[in-house]
A and B are shown apart, each in its own frame.
Chain A
Amino acid sequence: MAMETLTRDVPSSMHHHNNSSVSNMKHSYVQLSKTCLDEDAQINKKLPKELLLRIFSYLDVVSLCRCAQVSRSWNVLALDGSNWQKIDLFDFQTDVEGPVIENISHRCGGFLRQISLRGCQSVGDGSLKTLAQCCNYIEYINLNGCKRITDSTSQSLSQYCKKLLSLDIGSCSMVTDLSLKAISDGCPNLTSVNISWCDGITENGVEALAHGCPKLKSFISKGCTRMTTRAISCLAQHCVKLELINLHGCNNIEDEAVIKLANNCNSLKYICFANCSLLTDNCLVALSEQCYQLNTLEVAGCSQFTDIGFLALSKTCHLLEKMDLEECVFITDSTLFHLAMGCPRLEYLSLSHCELITDEGIRHLSTSACASEHLAVLELDNCPLITDASLDHLINCHNLQRIMLYDCQLITRNGIKRLRTHSPNINVHAYFAPVTPPPSTGNSRQHYCRCCAIL
């Protein structure tokens, strides 16, 4: 329904009041239909258009489209561009096609600030060009998963939308370096960019971006396997305001890139280097020397990191809240000891597959400042040395909400039971089957046939 309204070019003309003037129509009916006319309707009499517009501006897409079908004047008001400053069409991703975007662009014009077309796979370059041409003031555009778009879309954006602040072209696999070059030429204010899973993008594109958009604060390039150390170094050199960087799966990145980042971008808060397996402790040391603001560090699969790196980190980065250390296989209890001392705000800690961790490490953690107040999630799956003793230590963590214990073979049902009796709200994840509810065991007798029951 909503989409039909959007696809329609001109508001549908209302014919019914013409029919009502047929001569033999009863008087009362004529009156009734008169009150339904736009001008005479109570709500339109009492409320000036400005107020109606204001009310409409609070509605979501679906409600607006419904209102647009009430009457001709409401149609004009509901589809007024001022109501359409922020549009998220994610919920209609399968319905959205070219004409929808084109109509939206004509209606919204300069009003449009934010638009999300995440997952709208049938949208192509042509309609996005219209969008860019009509709506020059777009600040935020999300094209994640619009797989049909190519560099031509980025070129239109760079040509017409000079005010662009945030661009998401994740999973647009046809996009190449040319896109980033175009964006870097036309959108100097860009603060946030997401180019995850764009296989076509190489270091050249990122370098151009770094040169053209020095205000970049957030850079996300998950799964860009062609990303190199040089590209990241260039980014670090030019975009010193970076606060968030996500290089998940960019497995060619080396220490040098991270060291440059640490030296230049001191306001980094969020870092994800998951599966960048070439990185070593030098990165962590460099980060600890410069980036004190760090609150999230995701380094799952960085298997060369050791206690030395985390020791350095925990000495200076006291604001750390979330740490994902999955498969940092060399870390030992010593890391936990230092984290317990240095990171009092720790909320989330993942130690999955860190096979050297023992009960002693957990004991340190549970006696620290973070444990009693902040620690909410602790992942210990596949830590084979962890025993029930760890769970007993964790009883001190009053804020603990979730704990993962998959494949910890020394953990027993009783250990979990003890933990649960102390903190009943905790969500314990383990492979133990839930205890069978009494009815099924109680009634099992009745399933026997009568003769067996007698016996």
Chain B
Amino acid sequence: MDVDNNFPAAKRIITEIQNIINKDPKLKEFDLIIQPENQNKSPVIYRDHCLGLESWCVRHVYKYVYQRLITIRKQLKRQASNETITLLTSALLVNPEVTTFWNMRRELIIDGCLKPNDELKFSAIVLTFKPKCAEIFNYRRWIFSSISKSLSSTDIVLNELSVGLTAASRYPSNYNAWNHCFWFVQKSLENENFSLIAQQWEMSKVWCREHVSDHSCMQYRQRLLKCLVADKRCLQHLECCASKSLLKFFNSDERPKLMRPSEDYFSETIGVTLDELYFNEDLIVTYQSHESLWNHRRFLCYLLVNIYNTDCIKEVLMNNEKRICTNLLKGNELYVKKHVLWFQTALCIPIKLP
């Protein structure tokens, strides 16, 4: 009651927000609008399917919803009411990092007061404001796993992946977003849907090219690559120029020495990794001094040596890395030296720099 009297407008503001969210299924964005000056005007701004809240009121509104929600939570009897939903909506828009509030929404879903589809929309809007918030991603995954929505429908999965991608673009090093994507890739692999991983492999390549200093996406690619290498069926849908990379990597005279009975599988897995290695080289040459690229490269080399641990591969890899390090020494001295040192210590491959 005390908060109510202190700032009675809070109730009106949160109701307004809830109404907008209920009425507009196409709502796409929420953000705070910096407006320290306070007039007698509604701080809720809604235009072109975007929702804004003026910053002066955030503190007071949050104080109100927080206190109300905690009171409601402390009541032994859980009663789902529209008031709770309205309070939760505003609380989570402003501060999505409170797991308790998300849990309250989970309970409301279980009780049938909230529809899972609407919740996916709502949490997507919250993501536009805090794209890195792990609680939101958890909540979305929970909706899928517990409401037992069939993940087999590719539309749903593709939508989730695009949500993850949008979040990743909005905030650098957004590992949470890529984790979210990978979770769905894993789920689709469990359902024996192998086309998705190939599609993600291509998509993230484009993304990496546009965000060379963001290691989060490369880490996502590393995880994808591990899956690709581990299961032959994943490679089916991959359009790759593996043979070209193979030829480029191994000189023709060395090739026969490498051949083994399981030659097809070998060349494909190695081929994908090599593809990535050459792609990485391109980026390193084009964009100088990005540590993330070198980190990624080290992973690729490590993987290569581990898939097929022969002296031959080590030798070819050594020559290849020597060539690159020599070419790039100017301008990347720090990273090249680190790279050489790592080769020496981790893989026991000596690279001699001129």
Total B residues in contact with A, Cβ cutoff 8 Å: 19
Binary contact track B40-68/A, C-beta < 8 Å → 1, others 0: 11110000000000001101100000000
Q: Is the C-beta of A96 less than 8 angstroms from some C-beta in chain B?
A: no
Tell me the bound Cα distance from A91 to B77 in angstroms: 10
Tell me the bound Cα distance from A434 to B5 in angstroms: 10
Q: Is the C-beta of A29 less than 8 angstroms from some C-beta in chain B?
A: no
Q: Is the C-beta of B8 less than 8 angstroms from some C-beta in chain A?
A: yes
Binary contact track B221-236/A, C-beta < 8 Å → 1, others 0: 0000000000000000
Q: Are A406's CB and B56's CB within 8 A? A: no
A430/B57 contact (C-beta < 8 A), A406-B9, A406-B12 known: no
Contact of B38 among A91, A94, A408, A433 (CB under 8 A): A433
List 13 A–B pairs whose Cβ atoms lie within 8 Å, in order of A's numbering: A94-B111, A405-B40, A406-B42, A428-B8, A429-B8, A430-B9, A431-B40, A431-B42, A431-B43, A432-B9, A432-B40, A433-B57, A433-B59
Name the residue on A nearest B78 (C-beta): A94
Q: Is the C-beta of A331 less than 8 angstroms from some C-beta in chain B?
A: no
Which B residues are CB-close (under 8 A) to A21? none
B213 to chain A, nearest CB (A): 30
Q: Are A429's CB and B57's CB within 8 A? A: no
A31 to chain B, nearest CB (A): 39
Q: Are B6's CB and A431's CB within 8 A? A: no
B278 to chain A, nearest CB (A): 49
B40 to chain A, nearest CB (A): 5
Contact of A429 among B9, B56, B111 (CB under 8 A): B9
Q: Is the C-beta of A35 less than 8 angstroms from some C-beta in chain B?
A: no
Tell me the bound Cα distance from A411 to B9 in angstroms: 15
7 A-B pairs with least C-beta separation:
A429-B8, A434-B7, A431-B9, A434-B6, A433-B38, A431-B40, A430-B40
Q: Are A406's CB and B40's CB within 8 A? A: yes
Name the residue on A nearest B58 (C-beta): A433
Tell me the bound Cα distance from A421 to B60 in angstroms: 23
Tell me the bound Cα distance from A428 to B9 in angstroms: 9
Q: Are B60's CB and A434's CB within 8 A? A: yes
Which residues of A does B touch, CB under 8 Å? Answer: 91, 94, 405-409, 411-412, 427-434
B52 to chain A, nearest CB (A): 15
Name the residue on B nearest A430 (C-beta): B40
Tell me the bound Cα distance from A391 to B267 in angstroms: 84
Counting residue pairs across A and B whose Cβ atoms lie within 8 Å, the total is: 45
Tell me the bound Cα distance from A43 to B57 in angstroms: 61
Name the residue on B nearest A416 (C-beta): B40
Which A residues are CB-close (under 8 A) to B6? 434
Q: Is the C-beta of B75 less than 8 angstroms from some C-beta in chain A?
A: no
Q: Is the C-beta of B39 less than 8 angstroms from some C-beta in chain A?
A: yes
Among B215-263, those with CB < 8 Å from A are none
Which A residues are CB-close (under 8 A) to B12? 406, 429
Tell me the bound Cα distance from A94 to B111 in angstroms: 9
A409/B8 contact (C-beta < 8 A), A433-B56, A434-B60 known: no
A431/B60 contact (C-beta < 8 A), A406-B9, A406-B12 known: no
Q: Are A433's CB and B60's CB within 8 A? A: yes
Q: Are B5's CB and A407's CB within 8 A? A: no
Which B residues are CB-close (under 8 A) to A409? 39-41
Which A residues are CB-close (under 8 A) to B60? 433-434
Name the residue on B nearest A93 (C-beta): B79
Binary contact track B280-304/A, C-beta < 8 Å → 1, others 0: 0000000000000000000000000
Contact of B42 among A407, A412, A429, A434 (CB under 8 A): A407
Contact of B41 among A407, A427, A434 (CB under 8 A): A407
Binary contact track B1-19/A, C-beta < 8 Å → 1, others 0: 0000111110011000000
Binary contact track B53-93/A, C-beta < 8 Å → 1, others 0: 00011011000000000000000010000000000000000
Which B residues are CB-close (under 8 A) to A429? 8-9, 12
Which A residues are CB-close (under 8 A) to B40? 405-409, 411-412, 430-432
Which B residues are CB-close (under 8 A) to A406? 9, 12, 40, 42
A188 to chain B, nearest CB (A): 37
Among B24-44, those with CB < 8 Å from A are 38-43
Which B residues are CB-close (under 8 A) to A428? 8
Which B residues are CB-close (under 8 A) to A433? 7, 38, 56-57, 59-60
Which A residues are CB-close (under 8 A) to B13? 431
Tell me the bound Cα distance from A323 to B128 in angstroms: 43
A405 to chain B, nearest CB (A): 7
Which B residues are CB-close (under 8 A) to A405? 40
Tell me the bound Cα distance from A94 to B7 in angstroms: 34
Which B residues are CB-close (under 8 A) to A430? 9, 40
Tell me the bound Cα distance from A409 to B40 in angstroms: 5
Tell me the bound Cα distance from A433 to B42 in angstroms: 11
Tell me the bound Cα distance from A20 to B249 in angstroms: 91
Q: Are B5's CB and A431's CB within 8 A? A: no
B219 to chain A, nearest CB (A): 35
A194 to chain B, nearest CB (A): 19
Name the residue on B nearest A435 (C-beta): B6
Q: Besides the contacts A431-B41, A433-B56, what 4 more A-B pairs have beta carbons closer than 8 Å?
A: A431-B38, A431-B40, A431-B57, A432-B9
Which B residues are CB-close (under 8 A) to A407? 40-42
Q: Are A427's CB and B5's CB within 8 A? A: yes
Which A residues are CB-close (under 8 A) to B56? 433
Tell me the bound Cα distance from A306 to B59 in angstroms: 42
B328 to chain A, nearest CB (A): 42
Which B residues are CB-close (under 8 A) to A427? 5, 8
Which A residues are CB-close (under 8 A) to B41? 407, 409, 431
Tell me the bound Cα distance from A27 to B293 in angstroms: 88
Which B residues are CB-close (under 8 A) to A412? 40
A62 to chain B, nearest CB (A): 12
Tell me the bound Cα distance from A431 to B56 in angstroms: 10
B109 to chain A, nearest CB (A): 15
B17 to chain A, nearest CB (A): 14
Tell me the bound Cα distance from A431 to B39 in angstroms: 7
A432/B42 contact (C-beta < 8 A), A406-B12, A427-B5, A427-B8 known: no
Tell me the bound Cα distance from A286 to B54 in angstroms: 47
B88 to chain A, nearest CB (A): 19
Tell me the bound Cα distance from A406 to B59 in angstroms: 19
Which B residues are CB-close (under 8 A) to A432? 9, 38, 40
Tell me the bound Cα distance from A278 to B6 in angstroms: 40
B65 to chain A, nearest CB (A): 15
Name the residue on A nearest B60 (C-beta): A433
